[in-house]
């Protein structure tokens, strides 16, 4: 009787240990959980309101809204540095010192890009890589603050930026300092920013000759930062492009390529100016991993 009870107690204890071992994380699991992840912060760089839908080849009743948001993203690699994608529409120096809103034409900015970075412990000097989707002024507002970083740009856009000829929706004074920056020059090609596949610049010309988008492979799932590949969600189904599109035919090719990429990767599409897209997103100091 005692022998039977002893064996039963031993069996129960062994079973408990085995279940416990199954429930406890392994050393590999613990190491994976504690391993630093790629992190992405989203910044609010203002609003562009009151745009004429006709500028995008739409009638007012055909779209939900033609009011835009302006955003930028800070991607922090755990070991290989920081990339700033886009730089706002208005230089920080123009914003009122008292923190009140700044108005310029259809653009309103309520907080500087620098202050949003500082709130999460970074400043412009911490940025190792800088890239914009394209040369337009609503993406290059603080480009001159990033002249110390490695600038990643498509040659076709850089050539237009410094050709000495003013283009529509381009303000050459905003990026003049980049002319002598340490530059990674791309020729309508993709680029692996950190060399490990985590963040990839994808060539997507058409809106400008060197327009590009950014694929960020977060642990929670990939995100495609589309720049101005699209301005409005309605462009996806209609194929329409703005009146100021550099090359609509090339845009169509780029859009098809990116749609194929979205299907293959399962990436979420963030349309850069779409308010509805960003209304559902978390802005800094919150982040995505």
For residue 75, give the 3-state DSSP assignment: strand
* CA nearest neighbour of 126 among 144, 148, 143, 142: 148
Determine the Cα–Cα distance for residues 117 and 285; give it in Å rounded to an integer: 9
Strands (E), the chain: 39-48, 68-77, 81-85, 102-104, 107-109, 129-131, 150-154, 183-186, 191-192, 199-203, 212-218, 221-225, 268-270
Q: Residue 76 to residues 28, 36, 92, 193, 224: CA-CA distances in angstroms?
A: 24, 10, 22, 12, 16
| Residue 24 pLDDT exceeds 60 | no
For 145, residues 6+ apart whose C-beta sits below 8 A from its C-beta are 87, 91, 92, 114, 124
Q: How many residues does the chain have?
A: 289
Q: What is the mean pLDDT of the chain?
A: 91
Helices then strands, each counted (H, E), the chain: 7, 13
How does residue 18 score in pLDDT terms, banded at 50, 70 and 90?
very low
| Residue 8 pLDDT exceeds 50 | no
Q: What is the pTM of this model?
A: 0.88
How are strands ordered across the β-sheet holding 199-203?
191-192, 199-203, 212-218, 221-225, 268-270
| Residue 251 pLDDT exceeds 70 | yes
Determine the Cα–Cα distance for residues 71 and 67; give it in Å rounded to an integer: 13
For residue 161, give the 3-state DSSP assignment: helix
Each residue's pLDDT tens digit, 79-89:
999 999 999 99
Least confident of 32-41, 167-176, 177-186, 272-281: 32-41
Whether the CB-CB separation of 95 and 108 falls below 8 Å is answered with: no
Q: What are the structure tokens assigned to 215, written together?
A: 């694929």
How is residue 146 annotated by DSSP? G
Domains in the chain, CATH or no CATH each:
36-279 (3.60.15.10)
């Amino acid at each position: 009787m005692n022998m039977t009870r002893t064996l039963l107690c031993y069996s129960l204890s062994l079973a408990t240990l085995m279940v416990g071992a199954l429930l406890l994380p392994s050393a590999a699991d613990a190491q994976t959980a504690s391993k630093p992840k790629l992190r992405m912060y989203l910044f609010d760089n203002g609003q562009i309101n009151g745009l004429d839908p006709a500028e995008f080849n739409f009638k007012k009743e055909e779209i939900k809204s033609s009011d835009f948001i302006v955003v930028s993203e800070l991607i922090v690699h755990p070991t290989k540095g920081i990339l700033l994608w886009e730089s706002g529409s208005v230089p920080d120096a123009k914003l009122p010192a008292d923190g009140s809103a700044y108005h310029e034409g259809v653009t309103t900015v309520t907080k500087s890009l620098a202050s949003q970075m500082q709130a999460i412990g970074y400043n412009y000097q911490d940025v190792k890589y800088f890239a914009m989707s394209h040369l337009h002024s609503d993406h290059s507002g603080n480009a001159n603050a990033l002249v110390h970083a490695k600038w990643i740009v498509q040659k076709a856009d850089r050539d237009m930026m410094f050709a000495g000829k003013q283009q529509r929706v381009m303000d050459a004074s905003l990026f003049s300092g980049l002319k002598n920056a340490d530059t990674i020059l791309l020729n309508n090609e993709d680029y692996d920013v950190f060399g490990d596949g985590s963040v990839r610049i994808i060539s997507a010309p058409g809106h400008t000759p060197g327009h590009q988008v950014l694929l960020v492979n977060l642990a929670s799932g990939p995100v495609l930062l589309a720049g101005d590949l699209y301005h409005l969600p309605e462009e996806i189904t209609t194929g329409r492009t703005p009146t100021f599109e550099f090359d609509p035919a090339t845009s169509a090719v780029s859009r098809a390529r990116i749609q194929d990429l979205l299907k293959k990767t399962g990436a979420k599409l963030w349309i850069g100016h779409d308010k509805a897209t960003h209304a559902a997103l978390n802005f800094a100091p919150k982040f995505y991993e």
